[in-house]
Amino acid sequence: MAVDEPSVARSEKHWAIAMVAVSTVLLSSIVYAAVGMHLRPPSNNVETIDPATLHVSGEFVEDNLGTSVDSKGNVTIRVVTAQFAFQPACVVVPQDTPVTLRLASPDVIHGIIVVGTNVNTMVVPGYVSQVRTRFHQLGEQLMPCHEFCGLGHSQMLAHVRVVPKADFKPDAERRVTCAAK
């Protein structure tokens, strides 16, 4: 059986066209989501912070951690991820409301993922990790560290408590904590 070179070339051309079509479909889907739905990876925000002093001054001091609501009603959650705990270990967010998570690490690289959502980012010392999203599902959702950070990594987890908007009531200091009911 002789090798039919034109036939082979034709087959390869058809396969190449199919692969270009597949790549175009996949890339178009990603561009559509990025442009049409404003879906961008957390890395689009590059903001530096001094990991050695973040607990002493600035927005990540202990009193300022957790969920806060500013005068315009914007909900911001600030969390420090450190070996081997989240501070705070539980945060409250209102359902179907735009929220901004801001995280920083004073020691090593950590990472967070909120189960059942697209919230997923690394927390690198020296940088503030920021994720904007909405939580749709009511209830307590697990937020573990997903970047191996040391021997206690498997014990490092936190919870996101999603409550109905009506139950999300900031206190006098415009803060909401898991302890408050």
Partner 1 sequence: MDDHAPIANLSASNDDADISGDPRLRPAPRGAFALAGVTVGLLVAAWLAVYFLLFLTRGPVG
Binding to partner 1 by residue 31, rule CB under 8 A?
A: no
For the bound state, the minimum distance from the C-beta of residue 39 to partner 1, rounded and expressed in Å, comes to 4
With beta carbons less than 8 A apart as the criterion, state whether 126 and 51 touch.
yes
CA distance 133 to 102: 12
Binding to partner 1 by residue 165, rule CB under 8 A?
A: no
Binding to partner 1 by residue 138, rule CB under 8 A?
A: no
Between 98 and 164, name the residue whose CB sits nearer to partner 1.
98
Contacts of partner 1 in 89-118 (CB under 8 A): 116-118
Burial label, 99 (beta-carbon count in 10 A; 0-12, 13-18, 19+): buried
> Is it true that the peptide bond before 86 is cis, omega within 30 degrees of 0?
no
Binding to partner 1 by residue 153, rule CB under 8 A?
A: no
Contacts of partner 1 in 32-91 (CB under 8 A): 33, 37-42, 44
Number of residues that bind partner 1 (CB under 8 A): 28
Binding to partner 1 by residue 28, rule CB under 8 A?
A: no
CA distance 136 to 117: 9
Long-range pairs for 129-132: beta carbons < 8 A, 24 or more residues apart: 129/42, 129/45, 129/101, 129/102, 129/103, 129/104, 130/42, 130/45, 130/47, 130/100, 130/101, 130/102, 130/103, 131/42, 131/100, 131/101, 132/98, 132/99, 132/100, 132/101
Stretch that binds partner 1, among 31-39, 60-68, 140-148, 152-160 (CB under 8 A): 31-39
Q: Which of 25, 46, 151, 172 binds partner 1 (CB under 8 A)?
A: 25
For the bound state, the minimum distance from the C-beta of residue 23 to partner 1, rounded and expressed in Å, comes to 10
Binding to partner 1 by residue 2, rule CB under 8 A?
A: yes
Binding region for partner 1 (CB under 8 A): 1-2, 11, 14-15, 18, 22, 25-26, 29, 33, 37-42, 44, 116-120, 131-134, 136
